[in-house]
Amino acid sequence: MSAVDTRVPQPTTPTPPSPRRMGPDARRVTARTVRYTLLFLFLVFVLIPVYVLLVTSFKPGTEATLTGAWDLPQNWTLDAWREAWDALSPSLWRSFAIAIPASIVSAILGSMNGFVFSRWRFPGSDIVFTLFLFGMFIPYQAVMIPLRQLTSDLGLASGVPTLIVVHIAYGIPICSLIFRGYYSTTIPNELVEAGRVDGAGLIRTYALIVLPLSAPGFVVTLIWQFTSVWNDFLFAIFLSNTRNGPVTIALNALAGGQLTDYAASMAGALIASFPTLIVYIVLGRWFIGGLMAGSLKT
């Protein structure tokens, strides 16, 4: 916590005559007023899109016009939500079918890699780790053309199976990074060394010492991976279509058509965002943990 507690209520005399004659108390009050004003202004900036999304989604098609974007609905209706649900629900389930297995498998691989990279290094393991990390920064366009060929050579059907495999593969670097950081702060080196001296093999050390301590690492990794797979559009547009792809593809088609129903696309944007938003609201603390771990500085 910070040393200065600005939350102590000050006896308020909100009349600072001139800056020069301001006492320390008055100056603190001014500073606090400025701070809260700014905080609320930025809050408005952040919430403006949410307001437009929400009010438009409850409008009937005739009211959902650009010029009336800021008005509240005159006739509240759930029609747009129904329409969006009909358009998106098949792809919504496909998104779950992609994101859940992909996050679980890459988290497991990440845990194994993270353990080795932090606590059971081999010669050159730091270089291998850095080569892994590069894989998470590349623009995926640089692999996309041969990737299509590769997935079909592997016999993977377009859509869900392909996207599961691809997200596992490209999820390995970030998952390894998160677990490496996690283990290097939570698993004492001595514990692993002791196991090594006792002749406990790698598998036993991992299974009996490391895994039982891994739950928080898994929560952070799974949230991170689920969110990024769920929100992916790039792999989806290259490797699937509206009939077999995830919800981002279906939403883009719903919102980008020639005769766009604005109310339905706004409701659709909300529907497509609910799973990750719920994860964020319920498990926010862990979500932020993943953000920090994903930034290399662990």
Partner 1 sequence: MRSRIRNWGPGLLMVAPSIVVIAVFVYVLIGATVNESLTDRHTAAPAENYVGLENYANLLDDDRFIHSLKNLAVLTVVFVTGTLVLGVLWAFLLEKGVKGEGFFRSAYLFPMAVSFVASGVVWRWLLNSAEGEGAGGLNALFGMAGLDVLQNPWWSHPDWGMAAMAVPAIWQLSGYVMALFLAGFRGIPNELREAARVDGASEAQLYRHVLFPQLSPVALTALIIIGHMSMKMFDLIMAVSGAQYLTEVPAVYMWQALLTNDYAKAAAIAIVLLVVVAVLVVPYLIHNARTERQR
Distance CA 147, CA 149 (A): 5
By CB under 8 A, the residues from 150 to 189 that bind partner 1 are 150, 166, 168-170, 172-173, 176
- Among all chains, which residue has been given the structure tokens 């500073």? 31
- Contact in structure between 142 and 211 (CB atoms under 8 Å): no
Six-digit token string for 277: 């938003």
Six-digit token string for 144: 């996309």
* Chosen residue from 22, 97, 100, 128 binding partner 1 by CB under 8 A: 128
- Contact in structure between 194 and 210 (CB atoms under 8 Å): no
CB of 152 to partner 1, least distance (A): 14
Of the candidate spans 17-25, 72-80, 139-147, 212-220, the one that interacts with partner 1 by CB under 8 A turns out to be 139-147
Distance CA 235, CA 249 (A): 10
- Tell me whether residue 51 or residue 76 sits nearer to partner 1 (CB atom): 51
The type of residue at 2 is S
Helices (H), the chain: 24-57, 79-119, 125-137, 141-153, 160-186, 189-197, 202-204, 215-231, 234-239, 247-256, 262-282, 284-293
Total number of residues that touch partner 1 (CB under 8 A)? 106
- Contact in structure between 226 and 103 (CB atoms under 8 Å): yes
- Tell me whether residue 159 or residue 275 sits nearer to partner 1 (CB atom): 275
Distance CA 202, CA 112 (A): 10
CB of 79 to partner 1, least distance (A): 17
Asked if 12 is part of the footprint of partner 1 (rule: CB under 8 A), the reply reads: no
Distance CA 242, CA 7 (A): 52
By CB under 8 A, the residues from 98 to 127 that bind partner 1 are 109, 112-113, 115-117, 120-123, 125-127
The residue length of the chain stands at 298
Distance CA 97, CA 244 (A): 11
CB of 104 to partner 1, least distance (A): 15
By CB under 8 A, the residues from 225 to 284 that bind partner 1 are 227, 230-234, 237-238, 248, 251-252, 255-256, 262, 265-266, 268-270, 272-273, 276-277, 279-281, 284
By CB under 8 A, the residues from 14 to 53 that bind partner 1 are 35-36, 38-39, 42-43, 45-49, 52-53
* Chosen residue from 78, 138, 207, 282 binding partner 1 by CB under 8 A: 138
- Among all chains, which residue has been given the structure tokens 């058509």? 257
- Binding string to partner 1 for residues 70 to 99, with x set by CB under 8 A, is what? x-----------------------------
* Chosen residue from 97, 200, 202, 219 binding partner 1 by CB under 8 A: 202
